[in-house]
Amino acid sequence: MVDIASYPIQTAAKRRRRALMAQPKVVLGGAFILILVLLVVGAPWIAPKDPLEQDLMLGTLPPAWIDGAEPGYWLGTDDLGRDVLSRLIFGTRIALLVAFVAATLAALIGTLLGLIAGWYGGWADRVISRLVDIWMAFPPVLLSILLVAVLGAGVHSVIAAIVIIDWTRFCRVVRSETKSQAQMDYVTAAQTIGFSRARILFSEILPNVAPVLIALVSLEMGIAVIVEAILSFVGLSVSSDTPTWGGMIAAGRQMIYQGWWVMVAPLIALFATVLAFNQLGDGLRRALDPVMGR
């Protein structure tokens, strides 16, 4: 008498994969990042020249499509005769290393504090929220330059500076998301089964915060790429003999009238990478939401 029709149910994994693939932002952004990862791994084989090899006889060569180019130097050379394309490819290493490590660490710290603040409330919430407020009152770029100056130049310092500054982004979002999930009846239901509060937080609430979190990590990677470029532009990142996009931009600025390509090439790489991370993050947010993505 009370039987009701059963509904067609696809397997959830298939559905989720399809939802991801239906987002062009995820596909395009993800594909671009994937290519960058391949460049990072295969840099020594893919790069046509040694990025550090100088040849003053071949200085300031224009890119291949302009008169006066030498074969083999696709994007030309800088004033010291180093191959711009090879330096660009090797520069991807530092950019992505900083992006992945810094964004992950900032996400870990910010998420943990955000979960605690949003779930336990009370004085924990007050302390963490005030800390975030104070933190966000500092101008981020100045603070990062200051931090690296104090910690000393190097890729570790760049990562530390990004983590120290940007954990607040994650903390704020995760806190408010946790608070709104905590209002849901399923949390109450879990309490009435007798789960401990910590277990409810990690096995019930955290999975529902995850979609927002994943999207935010992707956005943060874009930000980290920019911050790394800024710090290497002002010479506070890795030592100058390691190619970085920021360092290339700084060097290119000195010779903008003799060889504009030295500065423009890393700028385009930077722009495209940040755009890809942002689009990927935005697409992931739409696709991973369990209710929106139906």
Q: Please list the residues that pair with 191 across neighbouring strands.
A: none
Stretch that binds another protein, among 89-97, 206-214, 228-236, 261-269 (CB under 8 A): 206-214
CA distances from 29 to 32, 34, 36, 169, 222 (A): 5, 9, 11, 22, 11
Q: List the one residue from 35, 127, 184, 198 that touches another protein (CB under 8 A).
A: 184
Residue 15 or 275 with smaller CB distance to another protein: 15
Residue 191, interface with another protein (CB under 8 A)? Answer: yes
Pattern 8-47, another protein, x by CB under 8 A: -x-xx-----------------------------------
Binding to another protein by residue 194, rule CB under 8 A? Answer: yes
Among 2, 57, 137, 142, binds another protein (CB under 8 A): 2
Cα of 202 vs its chain's centroid, Å? 24
Residue of 195, 234, 275, 286 interacting with another protein (CB under 8 A): 195
Q: Which amino acid is at 55?
A: D
Count CA atoms closer than 13 A to 116's CA, side-chain side: 12
- Binding test (CB under 8 A) with another protein, winner from 129, 176, 208, 278: 208
Distance of CA 35 to the CA centre of its chain: 15
- For residue 219, the one-letter residue type is L
Beta-carbon contacts of residue 155 (< 8 Å; ≥ 6 apart) = 94, 97, 98, 237, 238
- Among 71, 185, 241, 257, interactor with another protein by CB under 8 A: 185
Q: Does 180 bind another protein (CB under 8 A)?
A: no
Question: CB–CB of 260/20 below 8 Å?
Answer: no
Q: How far is the CB of 44 from another protein (least distance, A)?
A: 42
CA dihedral angle for residue 135, residue 137, residue 140, residue 144, rounded to 10 degrees: -50
Smallest distance, another protein to C-beta of residue 10, A: 8
Q: Which stretch binds another protein (CB under 8 A): 7-15, 96-104, 214-222, 271-279?
A: 7-15
Q: Toward another protein, which CB reaches closer, 24 or 207?
A: 207
Residue 93: CB atoms within 10 A of its CB come to 19
Of 174, 178, 204, 176, give the one whose Cα is nearest residue 189: 204
Binding site for another protein (CB under 8 A): 2-7, 9, 11-12, 184-186, 188-195, 204, 207-208, 210, 290-291, 294
